[in-house]
């Protein structure tokens, strides 16, 4: 295991030993310190002990509780450590559920180990960049939604709204330039730091979750065939 001072720490929660070893190998090659847990109880102990910078989490863990339960507990404790879901269930329901509960990204088995590392790296980079850019920024208001970037707080119709890290970053990006229409590929590149890909459903899933949480106050407007904007006309 890497012991480099100041290295970022990743908790890999995976019950298949071969996959856990593969993820550990590639993450350590990239300079990360890696801890491995095989179930929810093991993961909760590792979270308390090591306080990782990010979690790579298999949804389908053995035992009475799965990966969704682990994240639900994290978010209930107001712990917003970035989480990348790993799932063998390649359908939209699992993806939406995972993102709704507070996952920052997902990959589907079988996956490329290099893609896995790239996803973790992108989530951490986005997390760091958001904290740095938010530190001195004043409140953002569009319509009936208000954001406090410095404290990472959101309100809709003056009621607090709990947003995941990625949801907050996406909404902040849209509200910083009200009325400006962003294409899906553009948002993937600028918010997720992924290569532009118009075919990805990632942006649509997050927008759907934002609208569900913000309700009638949501300032997000769909521009058909183009993308999304935040303004009073939503």
Domain CATH for 142: 1.10.10.10
The whole domain housing 150 covers 135-230
Q: Under a CB-based contact definition with an 8 Å cutoff, are residues 229 and 213 in contact?
A: no
The domain boundary, picked from 99, 125, 151, lies at 125
Residues 157 and 84 grouped into a single domain = no
Give which of 21, 18, 8, 69 is closest to 43, Cα–Cα.
69
Please state the domain count of the chain. Answer: 2
For residue 182, what are its two tokens? Answer: 């962003």
Residues 117 and 199 grouped into a single domain = no
**pLDDT at 2 (0 to 100):** 38
Residues 53 and 121 grouped into a single domain = yes
Residues 14 and 119 grouped into a single domain = yes
pLDDT at 150 over 90: no
pLDDT at 32 over 70: yes
Distance, in Å, from the CA atom of 176 to the CA atom of 171, rounded to the nearest integer, reads: 9
**pLDDT at 105 (0 to 100):** 83
CB environment 76-99: b (16+ within 10 A), e (fewer)? eeeebbbbbbbbeeeeeebbbebb
Reported as a pLDDT band with limits 50, 70 and 90, residue 136 is low
Domain CATH for 78: 3.40.50.2300
Over residues 187-231, the pLDDT tens digits come to 988 888 776 665 668 889 889 989 999 999 999 999 998 999 999
Looking at residues 68-91, what average pLDDT do you find?
83
pLDDT at 126 over 70: yes
Written in H, E and C, the secondary structure of the chain is: CCCCCCCCEEEEECCCHHHHHHHHHHHHHCCCEEEEECCHHHHHHHHHHHCCCEEEEECCCCCCCCHHHHHHHHHHCCCCCCEEEEECCCCHHHHHHHHHHCCCEEEECCCCHHHHHHHHHHHHHHHHHHHHHHCCCCCEEECCEEEECCCCEEEECCEECCCCHHHHHHHHHHHCCCCCCEEHHHHHHHHHCCCCCCCCCHHHHHHHHHHHHHHHHCCEEEECCCEEEECCCC
The domain boundary, picked from 95, 125, 155, lies at 125
Looking at residues 24-33, what average pLDDT do you find?
95
CB neighbour list of residue 156: distance below 8 Å, 6 or more residues apart: 144, 145, 213, 214, 215, 217, 218
The residue with greater pLDDT, 109 or 157, is 157
> Which residue is associated with the tokens 């997720």?
192
Residues 117 and 155 grouped into a single domain = no
Over residues 80-103, the pLDDT tens digits come to 888 998 887 766 556 666 666 777
The domain boundary, picked from 74, 101, 125, lies at 125
């Amino acid at each position: 295991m890497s012991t480099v001072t100041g290295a970022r720490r990743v908790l890999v929660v995976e019950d298949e030993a071969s996959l856990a070893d593969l993820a550990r190998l590639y993450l350590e090659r990239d300079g990360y310190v890696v801890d491995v847990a095989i179930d929810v109880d093991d993961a909760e102990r590792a979270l308390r002990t090591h306080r990782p910078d990010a979690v790579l989490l298999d949804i389908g863990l053995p035992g009475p509780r799965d990966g969704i339960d682990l994240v639900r507990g994290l978010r209930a404790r107001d712990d917003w450590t970035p989480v990348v879901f790993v799932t063998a269930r390649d359908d939209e329901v699992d993806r939406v559920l995972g993102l709704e509960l507070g996952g920052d990204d997902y990959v589907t088995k079988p996956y490329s180990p290099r893609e896995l590392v790239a996803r973790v790296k992108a989530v951490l980079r986005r997390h760091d960049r958001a904290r740095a850019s938010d530190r001195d920024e004043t409140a953002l208001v569009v319509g009936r939604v208000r954001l406090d970037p410095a404290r990472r707080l959101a309100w809709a119709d003056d009621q607090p709204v709990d947003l995941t890290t990625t949801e907050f970053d996406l909404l902040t990006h849209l509200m910083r330039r009200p009325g400006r229409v962003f294409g899906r590929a553009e948002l993937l590149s600028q918010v997720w730091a992924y290569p532009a890909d118009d075919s990805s459903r990632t942006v649509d899933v997050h927008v759907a979750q934002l609208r569900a949480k913000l309700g009638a106050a949501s300032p997000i407007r769909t521009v058909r065939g183009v993308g999304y904007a935040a303004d009073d006309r939503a």
